[in-house]
Structure 1
Amino acid sequence: MRIALRIALAASAALLTLGAAQAQEKVVKIGTEGAYPPFNNLTADGKLEGFDIDIAKALCDEMKVKCEFVAQDWDGIIPALQAGKFDAIVASMSITPERKEKVDFTDKYYNTPPGIIAPKDSDIKGVTKEDLAGKTIGVQASTTHFNYSTKTYTDSTIKPYPTAQEYQLDLENGRLDAANDDVVVLQQFLDSPEGACCKLIGTIKPVEEIHGPGAGIAVRKGDNDLREKLNAAIKAIRANGKYKEINDKYFKFDVYGGES
């Protein structure tokens, strides 16, 4: 009887251990920048918030896994993914051929155009190479916007910054003639007290070879299981209204863009 009891207890312990292991497997670590509002931002009390964060939480809920978020500087975010610091990047990362050599991407989860802002008293009239000739343009480094600026505005001085907030501060203080970024990020700055200095000059037609088809979620090369689960979850929240609920919390238009 005691032997049977021991066997039963051992079996129960094994099941509990297996259950704990399975529960641990259901945690997905999400890397994000935390310095790109309204998409992702780290608050003063250390909390991550924004469109990317809410989308990631909705996707994890759809996949029935637990999300854990990790804040990571933009310049090191792909190496950190490759090193296993987290399982996926949800940080408004544009899908580009260069990045696809290092990571795999899901389908897009949003796609908004770039734009140019400048001080309100600026003489800049448009967003072409000629319009920006001789000007100093601020842009976040290691982004599609930086790549576009350096390739397009060859008669301008392109000044890279680690974060969007830093070029915004220099623009506010008169140390830049213009800035290039996602139009939603630019508009949020313009709507803030600090952004009262400036105006939107116009939007830029995206160049797919540079800007890609939109922002996607990056996973490690070959992690097809997670990528396909995320793709299915993106489609599900688009269909069940959760995407729209999150979209409408932050924006007055559908940031997903045209169907693809």
Structure 2
Amino acid sequence: MNFQMTLRAALVSLIALGAGTTASADQLADVKAAGKIVTATDMHYAPFDMLNNGTYEGMTKDLFDEVSKEIGVEPLYQDIPWPAELPGLEVKKFDIIIAPVTITPERLERYTFTLPIADATVALVKAASSDLKAPEDIKGKTVGVQQGTAQFKQLEAFGDKLGGVTIKEYGTTDEAYADLAAGRLDAVAGSLPNLTYLVKNRPETFALFEPAKFGEPKYFAWALRKNADTEPFAKAINDALLKMTDDGRVKAIQEKWLGTYTELPREVPAK
């Protein structure tokens, strides 16, 4: 009787241990078992993410739709304010952040990044009627930027180097663009693809500085939690992106939304 109970307890423990290992050691397996990838993005970041009459669209969606097909699951898209995305990822509210996240050394220590999906080099936009020209002309001016972004940090460092810039933070880039158009800002800092798209669609209102870019070259990617569980998941996404690069899908999607194609690194940058 005691031997049977002991044997039964041992078997139950082994089964529980095996089930626990299977459920928690591989995020890709969990995603495939669920049949979906739960994502977070800020749908106010054209041309990557935007709402058009309530419908989600943009370069990010087109890319991730194709990645999800390659993995064999359905994407679940959620509109989450940018400041809540990285904290939400860490407490497992979603599987991945697909809002373009700038790769930085500090973030590389804390998160797993996919391959780059776009250029993220910081740039400046102004009102079309503005007399400002070069990036250095923002000295002593008021410049808007989305809060909590790598572009904010680069703008802050650039402003210090110039000798002073008043920085105004915004929850979304759309809010910053609205204040720039209304004359409440002298410029807005953001990634070059976002600002190029803005000027392309509203040339009567906005113009790029000449040159528009300042600071070090940077890239956008998608972010996952940093642990061994995520490694197969990240690899599956990267394999899909490389396949899409080689068969021309990435080029077609870039040209659709950005009007041009930028060849991207085939490895995750170290900084």
| Equivalent residues in 2 for 1:1-260, closer than 5 Å | 24-45=33-54, 47-128=55-136, 131-154=137-160, 155-193=164-202, 196-201=204-209, 202-207=211-216, 211=218, 214-222=219-227, 223-257=230-264
RMSD: 2.0
The unaligned stretches of length 5 or more in structure 1 are 1-20
- The percent of aligned pairs where both chains have the same amino acid is 27
Give aligned pairs, total: 232
Q: Deviations over 1:214-257 (max 9, x none)?
A: 11111111111111111111111101122122122212211344
Given that 1:29 and 1:87 are in contact with CA atoms closer than 8 Å, whether structure 2 keeps it comes out as yes
Q: Which piece of structure 1 moves more, 105-114 or 233-242?
A: 105-114
The unaligned stretches of length 5 or more in structure 2 are 1-29
Given that 2:47 and 2:194 are in contact with CA atoms closer than 8 Å, whether structure 1 keeps it comes out as yes
Q: Deviations over 1:57-81 (max 9, x none)?
A: 1111111122111111000101111
Runs of 4+ in 1 over 3 A off after TM superposition: 21-24, 255-260
* Paired residue type of 2:220: A
* Paired residue type of 2:170: Y
Q: Deviations over 1:10-63 (max 9, x none)?
A: xxxxxxxxxxx9964331112111110110012332x22100111111111111
* TM-score, normalised relative to structure 2: 0.79
For residues 59 and 66 of structure 2, the distance between their equivalents in structure 1, rounded to whole angstroms, comes to 11
Q: Structure 1 76/112 Cα, relative in aligned 2: closer, same or farther at 3 Å? A: closer
SS of the residue aligned with 2:140?
A: coil
Q: Deviations over 1:75-110 (max 9, x none)?
A: 010111112221111111111122223321112122
* TM-score, normalised relative to structure 1: 0.82
SS of the residue aligned with 2:98?
A: strand
Q: Deviations over 1:139-169 (max 9, x none)?
A: 1111111111111112110111110000000
Given that 1:113 and 1:203 are in contact with CA atoms closer than 8 Å, whether structure 2 keeps it comes out as no
